[in-house]
A and B are shown apart, each in its own frame.
Chain A
Amino acid sequence: DIVMTQSPDSLAVSLGERATINCKSSQSVLYNSNTKNYLAWYQHKPGLPPKLLIYWASTRESGVPDRFSGSGSGTDFTLTISSLQAEDVAVYYCQQYYSVPYTFGQGTKLEIK
């Protein structure tokens, strides 16, 4: 199984400031034949299902604000929120869909400082 490890486990950022969450996979999730990274990011708020933010490591899902961006390749990835808003308080998960079983990171809890 591909193990996904996120850092930090929790993060407190001031409103309007940048938030950065990291995700590392135990093996590359870059598929050489199409040069795509099989990595997604989700936002999870209590009582709601996870919401897809980013797929292919950097493609923003329709309707997701452009303050959310994803970067990275191979085994190291980053989710960046450029200017934190109050509604961004949530737990964020990365997920690899390169190989079965599909696996998620342990989550990063984002709070307001």
Chain B
Amino acid sequence: QLQLQESGSGLVKPSQTLSLTCDVSGGSISSGGYSWSWIRQPPGKGLEWIGYIYHSGDTYYNPSLKSRVTMSVDMSKNQFSLKLSSVSAADTAVYYCARDSRHGYNSYWYFGLWGRGTLVSVSS
């Protein structure tokens, strides 16, 4: 059964770059044609979709974060990654990785599979 697990820096200084990785286990990141998303939740606030990446490397970023976001995929390690530059306290959040859903050849971005999330705090 496919599982996702986030890892990375739990504490980042303001203006630096947040780096997270999502390990995919129990299946290949390249099978099934899925896209892989990052979603975050600041403390006490709602959920914000950050963007997605396909195993091909094709990406789509939320325009609100696009200038600071870079996603990548490492097929050899069966993982995908998020980098968020120039962070501030507003980027403090629990970050989740998640997978989209597919019906036939089509992708639909509701999320049935999530990692457990990792808290990233931005503080000096």
A74 at the interface (CB under 8 A from B): no
Comparing A10-18, A19-27, A78-86, A97-105, the segment that makes contact with chain B is A97-105
Q: Which residues of the other chain, B, contact A42 by a CB distance below 8 angstroms?
A: 111
Q: Which of A38, A55, A101 has the most CB of B within 10 A?
A: A101
* Bound CA span A89–B76, Å: 41
Task: Give the residues from 62 to 77 in chain A that come closer than 8 angstroms, CB to CB, to chain B.
Answer: none
Question: In this complex, what residue of A is CB-closest to B48?
Answer: A104
- Determine if B60 and A100 form an interchain contact, defined as CB atoms under 8 angstroms apart: yes
A61 at the interface (CB under 8 A from B): yes
Query: Which of A52, A55, A97, A104 makes the CB contact (< 8 A) with B47?
Result: A104
Interface of chain B: mostly helix, strand, loop or mixed: strand
- Determine if A97 and B46 form an interchain contact, defined as CB atoms under 8 angstroms apart: no
- Determine if B110 and A55 form an interchain contact, defined as CB atoms under 8 angstroms apart: yes
Question: In this complex, what residue of B is CB-closest to A106?
Answer: B46
Q: How many residues of B contact A (CB 8 A)?
A: 20
- Determine if A49 and B46 form an interchain contact, defined as CB atoms under 8 angstroms apart: no
Q: A-facing mask of B90-124, CB < 8 A → 1, else 0?
A: 00000010100100000011111011110000000
* Bound CA span A104–B40, Å: 11
Question: In this complex, what residue of A is CB-closest to B62?
Answer: A101
Q: B-facing mask of A45-67, CB < 8 A → 1, else 0?
A: 00011101001000001000000
B64 at the interface (CB under 8 A from A): yes
Question: In this complex, what residue of B is CB-closest to A93?
Answer: B47
Question: In this complex, what residue of B is CB-closest to A34?
Answer: B106
CB distance from B69 to the nearest CB of A (A): 12
Binding site for A on B (CB under 8 A): 46-49, 60, 62-64, 96, 98, 101, 108-112, 114-117
